[in-house]
């Protein structure tokens, strides 16, 4: 990933991710979303990063461990569940001929306004871009420390 073109492109993806810090969607919800998409995509680096960043921001171990089984877990709010469902559907978009089902979008719209819905969609797109880049290039995981991402700002 040392290609000047790839470096330039990923700087824009990083900038898009950084812009999402201005969202009114709670940071904890966005971390859960990024963790769930990363689990689905098998991105060890992003799972490592978002688990540690969420924990450093005060997320509980129970909630982090239950993200993979959020439907059965009682520890998530209805708004978080809607965001996680949108994340799963948006991440698995190739598995659904019609894209994200209308009922998933309508459920998310119960909890998030139009700007927040746009932020959710952008967050899903950005984390999936990072996941794919890391998985394709087989990036290792395990040595991430909370706060390391700040060096990319």
Token pair of 42, please? Answer: 């098998």
CATH code, 53: 1.20.1290.10
Per-residue pLDDT of the chain (153 residues; tens, 9 = 90+): 678 998 899 899 989 998 999 999 999 999 999 999 999 999 999 999 999 999 998 999 999 999 999 999 999 999 999 999 999 999 998 887 678 899 999 999 999 999 999 999 999 999 999 999 999 989 888 787 777 676 654
Query: Is residue 15 in some structural domain?
Result: no
Q: What backbone phi and psi angles, to 5 degrees, belong to 137?
A: -95, 10
Domains contained in the chain, number = 1
Query: Is residue 19 in some structural domain?
Result: no
Query: Is residue 119 in some structural domain?
Result: yes
Please list, in sequence order, all residues whose beta carbon lies within 8 angstroms of the beta carbon of residue 129, skipping any fewer than 6 positions away. Answer: 13
**Domain, as residue range, for 49:** 26-142
Query: Is residue 88 in some structural domain?
Result: yes
Query: Is residue 14 in some structural domain?
Result: no
Q: What backbone phi and psi angles, to 5 degrees, belong to 99?
A: 80, -155
Do you know the residue count of the chain?
A: 153
Query: Is residue 106 in some structural domain?
Result: yes
Token pair of 30, please? Answer: 């966005």
Query: Is residue 17 in some structural domain?
Result: no
């Amino acid at each position: 990933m040392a290609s000047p073109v790839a470096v330039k492109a990923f700087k824009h993806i990083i900038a898009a991710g950084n812009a999402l810090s201005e969202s009114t969607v709670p940071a904890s919800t966005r971390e859960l979303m990024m963790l769930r998409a990363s689990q689905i995509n098998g991105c060890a680096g992003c799972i490592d990063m978002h688990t540690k960043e969420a924990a450093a921001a005060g997320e509980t171990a129970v909630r982090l461990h239950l993200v993979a089984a959020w439907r059965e877990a009682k520890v998530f709010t209805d708004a978080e569940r809607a965001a996680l469902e949108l994340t799963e559907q948006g991440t698995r978009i190739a598995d659904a001929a019609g894209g994200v089902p209308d009922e998933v979008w309508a459920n998310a719209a119960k909890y998030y306004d139009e700007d927040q819905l746009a932020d959710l969609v952008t967050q899903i797109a950005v984390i999936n871009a990072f996941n794919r880049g890391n998985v394709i290039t087989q990036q290792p995981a395990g040595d991430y420390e909370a706060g390391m991402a700040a060096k990319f700002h």
